[in-house]
Structure 1
Amino acid sequence: LFFSFHSLALHPERVLVATGQVGKEPYICVWDSYTVQTVSILRDMHTHGIACLAFDLDGQCLVSVGLDSKNTICVWDWRQGKVLAAAPGHTDRIFDISWDLYQQSKLVSCGVKHIKFWSLCGNALTPKRGVFGKTGELQTILCLACARDEITYSGALNGDIYVWKGINLIRTVQGAHGSGIFSMNACEEGFATGGRDGCIRLWDLNFKPITVIDLRETDQGYKGLSVRSVCWRGDHILVGTQDSEIFEVVVHDRTKPFLIMQGHCEEDDLIWSLVDHALIARCNMEEPIRCAAVSTDGIHLALGMKDGSFTVLRVRDMTEVVHIKDRKEAIHELKYSPDGAHLAVGSNESSVDVYGVVQRYKKVGECVASSSFITHMDWSTDSKYLQTNDGNGRRLFYRMPSGKEVTNREELKLVQWSSWTCVLGTEINGIWPKYSDISDVNSVDANFNSQVLVTADDYGLVKLFRYPCIRKGESGFVCFLVP
């Protein structure tokens, strides 16, 4: 099953994962991270969404916090799908919850200007509110880590770390971070914290500082980088950021973090090395980017923007070659012709504009037969034809570079396509499941030499088919499923 999820917890054995859904009637899915198969579904206790999740030390119980008005806390026997205990969490948002791994049946939750210490006895879940006293000001607490001897460490919105003994605040580590601390992770070596200031700080088991790593000042860093999640094991630290990046930092060489994954960051243009998966160049654009294409010779990079414009950059130094705005609605697709002479630009205005590369991207043609926004495009190997798909489910053909529509299909019988990324066509009818909607399949790519085709759809599935795949309703091999 595929859904938008707000929370995640890893089982102590590090194979099973629990994810919490966002929605009117959300549920929790426990799944195997190797087989990607669902193990258990937990439902009917939360509304609006699941804010946070945590397994206990032996992995038998799972605690969840809802996004309902009472921020309800539930303790589950997740294998049986049964609720062991439930209680209102707090009147304000809860941001983190953790089992005390050194005290059986004890939990700690924190959120907007509160921290609570919970005891689980049978089916009763009872809280005691943390006492701030005069040791520190009442703060919003964003994250937690439990330690031995009833000690709890918590990260505050102002960048301080609050240290608790039982339910009482006993000391503060002022200025641990320059602003809010979003993540705190305990391990055998000590503790790691990460914050909005873009820094990771490592602490020993007594919470004395070891070192600080400012990701903003590293080769892959940038202004505004914010750490949202951190995990420290041995000599390696994994860091998640607000832009959906994942960095790996080797502690003994901490000035050179390795960027493992870049998620969606609308206004950033990134160039990667396919050999070592390293980020080669990064350029921040003023407008959100919707699509990109690299010229056949690898010299130019074209970027389609949300505002209807497109920009062409030189790959070697990321300097601008040209910026053109002929449309008012978003550019959805870009494709260079195989001979490198033309760039096709498909927009949400139901048209494809054709530009001459050697004429400094002068407009030389226009394809206007579509009645809806352009979704996909492919050039023929001789650069003389273009096929398009649009939002109304139509597949159209044009002569290039004029953009004149081809209505005589006999003319197309011998056409060979340079790529196949269109989702519609008799050659790939078999990718569509029975009773599917025209928008269910989002992406397609064919490898002509190997005669295979891969699709990605709305259900989180990536499927592998033989190409061509003509018979409709034919099932492919499912490669990947996001629960």
Structure 2
Amino acid sequence: MPKPKPLLRGQSLPIFNLTGDKTAEIAKQRRFVSESTSTLRMSGTSVEYSKQEITDKPIGQNGVFRQYLRGRPITMFAPSDSAEQGAKKESTLPTEMLRAEWVYGYRGRDCADNLHELASGEIVYNIASVVVLYDPRAGTQRHYLGHNSSIQCLAVHPAGVLVTSGQVMGVNRREQIAVYEKFDGFYETPDPNWYKPHVRVWDSKTLQTLAVIGGGKLQFGVCAVSFSVSDGGGRVLVVDDSPGKILTVWDWKNGDLLCEAVATRDLLETAAFHPMDSDMMVTAGKNHLGFWTIKKITAGSTSKAFLTTKKGLFAEHQAKFVHCLDFGDNGDVITGDSKGSILVWKKGCNRISHANPAAHKGGIMALRVTSEGTMVTGGGKDRRVVVWDRSYTRPLRECKLDKSLGGVRSICPADKCQMFSGSGLFLGTLSNALCHWTLDLEKVEAVAEGHADELWGLAAHPRKPQFVTCDYSGLVVLWESKTHRPIWRTNLKFAAQSAQFHPSEEILLIGTSVGRWYCMDASTAAVIEDHQAGEDNKQLDCLRFSPDGAILAVGSHDNHIYLYTVENHGKSYKKSTRLSGHSSFVTHLDFSTDGRYMQSTSGDYELLYWDVAARSQLQFKSAMRDVTWNTQTCVFGFHVFGMWQQGADGHDILSCAVSGSRALLASADTHGKVNLFRFPCSKFQAPGHVYPGHGSHVTSVSFLHGDDWLISTGGLDCGIIQWQVVQPAPKHSSKRTHKDYSKPSTKSRNSSTSMLSVIDEFLPEDPSRNGGGLAVTDAATQTSRPGSPDKASRNPSPQPPPDPVQEEKKIIQQLVDSLFLNN
């Protein structure tokens, strides 16, 4: 069996193969029930999922429930004293909500020229699907959350107020449109291309979107954007990140495409309008430097624009990459390349006028001309930042970044007109850090640090508002949530996958992708000892201590759980046994509060229970119905099944966590969302708040000590978002319906068969009775659209008469349930 991909944590196995004609038909019907699920429905900043009521009818099975994921049944038992048995379950939205307080890091490893200063003095940059507006004076952040997928580039209007940002292709899940409506009123207008690559133009003061362009035209993503300057910023240059790198020019106010052309077949890194002529543009990339001019052809009363280009002629200064460009105050074009050379091109000319070869050792990744006419360059390999005189040949000042920060990726002069007496420069790095260089003091300080490789590991400190994250580069960081700064950083030899604190808080464990785990001093990051969990060097997805810290459980991709006895306050370990029983890799582990039992889940949607003292699997799951779990990281079980929404396939939720007060449940999904529910979450399709922000799958969530913050980590976007848990004043709730975004008209949506079947007539009421209505609860948002009227609910559609075929399928489904229950 091939090794599972990290994104999905493995592939699901086929549904059970039954023998005989009847059982084959039953399996077919069971697959039908699993696959014919209605779509998830959400709305608003705080989104309440579809509130379908379930009337429990406890007939003979003592509160036994079964959840199906890709045809695999997960049997769950309600607690013996549970009020859910035989009564209509009451479930409401949690009064607590989340507000994005701080986004760690900056996207510099694969983005260029995405760090700018606004007229307000804020520094704007992007990471994941968030545009961060950082106020260096107050040390706070604001966030633009209008994008529905990862942001690749951004630019600032010449007036310093408007911002344009471009995103990659998103996921066409129409039910998620309502999530974004609370952050961006533009989603209220039906648009079938809402999820496709596009560019948004928005106001940095109000965080309101003014225009959306390129949806349906752009194919893969947006690798470069730029505002025109000389005409007052009426045009936007957009480069499609398709194989052809299509260069397009738009009238963004009217949404009109003015002209387009193929820029290059290779990598394109940057593009910009000439500041003195809005009909001139420059593009740069791999083996490419293009000088573009917009021409017009007039025929009668109509005119058509088109693009012409001249390639840069490098002669002996040819380099493989042109990484960056800017413009002098006289209109000259200045470029930095992979050979470390600074080249100057006269305005309107495609030949080099003069050069400063080998200005850096290695490539020049960033270049910026200041308002005083001096120039600042940043090196990738040599990590040097150099301020040059007006001739661009004599260095005036320079500094070198620390190795942990990486090379320079973007440069942003702050308070440009007072550069040498003012605050200095902001620098974005290849290691996804944002730094500030105070020129007078010649001091470089990291402002926002993050990770630069895929991020999975997360653990909260047991007694302090601190947390640890670790990534595939082997980087491990201990963070202080109050200051948003790292306490320490260290690198391990192998890719880091998981993390866990010992209850004594003195010891930290890190699991890796090769089956080795490290015991570290939590205060100094010193490695005390390391162990190999298995013989096959398989990835370790989870580490978990018993409540008293005497036992360590390690879940491996070799399908086993390894138990260790712990001594010396977590500093010494001895392997005691290996537990077998899972048919796929182990994903999550939890101990009971008394440490006697353990529950675990696998990549094949299994939920197993274990007797810790006997070192064996428990065959009678019903005996676990009244066990209280010390943690709740397992994504399956009676107390958490309500967080799984209709249409889930088992991969949708990668992580969950319960607050210290045991009142809230947070989950991380593969669509870039963080979800917040009440705990226990034992109602099918429980109502919850939904929050966007990550650009890819959210790999982990964890509440910090004290429950004041929730931390979420993104996988491929390398982002860490710190959410403040808030409880705003109650506001009016209203009913609303969903729009059909494939057509100009608005239509309500009806639910279809649920993915959760309840044993022996524990069946949900017909969802069509609810008419697809949603209750939208206002929350603390980063932006709002004043004057948006509440939308009234539509009347539910009449219930159709019973279908004999559907009735027969229900009977077959009940036979399947009874068969698997008896087995």
State the TM-score, normalized to the length of structure 2.
Answer: 0.53
Paired position in structure 1 for 2:366? 183
Paired position in structure 1 for 2:448? 260
Structure 1 unmatched runs, 5+: none
Paired position in structure 1 for 2:190? none
Report the 3-state secondary structure (helix = DSSP H, G, I; strand = E; otherwise coil) of the residue aligned with 1:430. Answer: helix
Q: Alpha carbons of 1:421 and 1:36: their partners in 2 closer, same or farther (altered >3 Å)?
A: farther
Report the 3-state secondary structure (helix = DSSP H, G, I; strand = E; otherwise coil) of the residue aligned with 2:278. Answer: coil
Q: Structure 1 residue 39: deviation in Å?
A: 5.3
Question: For residues 400 and 38 of structure 1, what CA distance do their matches in structure 2 show?
Answer: 59
Question: For residues 36 and 476 of structure 1, what CA distance do their matches in structure 2 show?
Answer: 25
Q: Structure 1 residue 121: deviation in Å?
A: 3.6
Question: For residues 161 and 624 of structure 2, what CA distance do their matches in structure 1 show?
Answer: 54
* Residue identity opposite 1:257 in structure 2: E
Q: 2:258 aligns with which of 56, 81, 84?
A: 84
* Residue identity opposite 1:454 in structure 2: A
Q: Structure 1 residue 67: deviation in Å?
A: 4.1
Question: For residues 198 and 445 of structure 1, what CA distance do their matches in structure 2 show?
Answer: 40
Q: Structure 1 residue 215: deviation in Å?
A: 0.8
Question: For residues 351 and 84 of structure 1, what CA distance do their matches in structure 2 show?
Answer: 60
Instruction: Give yes or no for contact 1:187–1:233 (8 Å, CA) kept in 2.
Output: no
Question: For residues 440 and 636 of structure 2, what CA distance do their matches in structure 1 show?
Answer: 52
Q: Alpha carbons of 1:298 and 1:482: their partners in 2 closer, same or farther (altered >3 Å)?
A: closer
Corresponding residue pairs, total: 476
* Residue identity opposite 2:197 in structure 1: Y
Paired position in structure 1 for 2:410? 229
The reply on whether 1:21 has 2:168 as its aligned counterpart is yes
Paired position in structure 1 for 2:153? 8
Structure with greater strand share of residues: 1
Q: 1:202 aligns with which of 372, 379, 387?
A: 387
Question: For residues 403 and 248 of structure 1, what CA distance do their matches in structure 2 show?
Answer: 54
* Residue identity opposite 2:669 in structure 1: D
Structure with greater helix share of residues: 2
The reply on whether 1:105 has 2:105 as its aligned counterpart is no
Question: For residues 437 and 635 of structure 2, what CA distance do their matches in structure 1 show?
Answer: 40
Q: Alpha carbons of 1:75 and 1:352: their partners in 2 closer, same or farther (altered >3 Å)?
A: same
Question: For residues 307 and 319 of structure 2, what CA distance do their matches in structure 1 show?
Answer: 24
Q: 2:292 aligns with which of 105, 110, 118?
A: 118
Question: For residues 270 and 210 of structure 2, what CA distance do their matches in structure 1 show?
Answer: 25
Q: Structure 1 residue 432: deviation in Å?
A: 1.8
Paired position in structure 2 for 1:95? 269
Q: Structure 1 residue 476: deviation in Å?
A: 1.6
Question: For residues 480 and 241 of structure 1, what CA distance do their matches in structure 2 show?
Answer: 25
Report the 3-state secondary structure (helix = DSSP H, G, I; strand = E; otherwise coil) of the residue aligned with 1:105. Answer: strand
Instruction: Give yes or no for contact 2:551–2:565 (8 Å, CA) kept in 1.
Output: yes
Instruction: Give yes or no for contact 1:11–1:59 (8 Å, CA) kept in 2.
Output: no
Q: Structure 1 residue 82: deviation in Å?
A: 3.5
* Residue identity opposite 1:261 in structure 2: E
Q: 1:330 aligns with which of 539, 547, 550?
A: 539
Q: Structure 1 residue 77: deviation in Å?
A: 3.1
Q: Alpha carbons of 1:194 and 1:379: their partners in 2 closer, same or farther (altered >3 Å)?
A: farther
Paired position in structure 2 for 1:246? 434
Instruction: Give yes or no for contact 2:340–2:360 (8 Å, CA) kept in 1.
Output: yes
Paired position in structure 2 for 1:453? 665
Q: Structure 1 residue 236: deviation in Å?
A: 4.8
Report the 3-state secondary structure (helix = DSSP H, G, I; strand = E; otherwise coil) of the residue aligned with 2:639. Answer: helix
1:140-151 map, 5 Å = 140-151=321-332
* Residue identity opposite 1:336 in structure 2: F
Question: For residues 363 and 307 of structure 1, what CA distance do their matches in structure 2 show?
Answer: 17
Q: 1:215 aligns with which of 398, 401, 413?
A: 401
1:315-344 per-residue CA deviation (whole Å, 9 max, x = no partner) reads: 344333222213221111112222121221
Instruction: Give yes or no for contact 2:275–2:331 (8 Å, CA) kept in 1.
Output: no
Paired position in structure 1 for 2:312? 130
Q: Structure 1 residue 160: deviation in Å?
A: 1.3
Structure 2 unmatched runs, 5+: 1-146, 172-194, 297-304, 416-422, 454-470, 696-823
Q: Alpha carbons of 1:119 and 1:402: their partners in 2 closer, same or farther (altered >3 Å)?
A: farther
Q: Alpha carbons of 1:475 and 1:186: their partners in 2 closer, same or farther (altered >3 Å)?
A: farther
Instruction: Give yes or no for contact 1:17–1:31 (8 Å, CA) kept in 2.
Output: yes
1:60-75 map, 5 Å = 60-75=234-249
Q: Alpha carbons of 1:468 and 1:72: their partners in 2 closer, same or farther (altered >3 Å)?
A: same
Paired position in structure 2 for 1:417? 629
1:338-384 per-residue CA deviation (whole Å, 9 max, x = no partner) reads: 21212211111222211112172111233322221112222223222
* Residue identity opposite 1:42 in structure 2: G
The reply on whether 1:383 has 2:595 as its aligned counterpart is yes
Question: For residues 192 and 401 of structure 1, what CA distance do their matches in structure 2 show?
Answer: 65
Greater relative CO (CA pairs within 8 A, separation 6+): 2
1:430-455 per-residue CA deviation (whole Å, 9 max, x = no partner) reads: 21221122111122222141612222
Paired position in structure 2 for 1:443? 655
Q: 1:395 aligns with which of 607, 627, 634?
A: 607
Instruction: Give yes or no for contact 1:195–1:227 (8 Å, CA) kept in 2.
Output: yes
Question: For residues 50 and 436 of structure 1, what CA distance do their matches in structure 2 show?
Answer: 30
Q: Structure 1 residue 144: deviation in Å?
A: 0.8
Q: Structure 1 residue 201: deviation in Å?
A: 2.4
Q: Structure 1 residue 138: deviation in Å?
A: 5.7
Question: For residues 440 and 665 of structure 2, what CA distance do their matches in structure 1 show?
Answer: 43
Instruction: Give yes or no for contact 1:462–1:479 (8 Å, CA) kept in 2.
Output: yes
Paired position in structure 2 for 1:479? 691
Task: Give the structure with higher Rg (CA).
Answer: 2
The reply on whether 1:192 has 2:337 as its aligned counterpart is no
Instruction: Give yes or no for contact 2:653–2:670 (8 Å, CA) kept in 1.
Output: yes
The reply on whether 1:30 has 2:200 as its aligned counterpart is yes
The reply on whether 1:53 has 2:225 as its aligned counterpart is yes
Paired position in structure 1 for 2:712? none
Instruction: Give yes or no for contact 2:641–2:683 (8 Å, CA) kept in 1.
Output: yes
State the TM-score, normalized to the length of structure 1.
Answer: 0.88
Identical columns (%) = 24
| RMSD over equivalenced CA pairs, Å | 3.0
Instruction: Give yes or no for contact 1:102–1:148 (8 Å, CA) kept in 2.
Output: no
Q: Alpha carbons of 1:457 and 1:94: their partners in 2 closer, same or farther (altered >3 Å)?
A: same
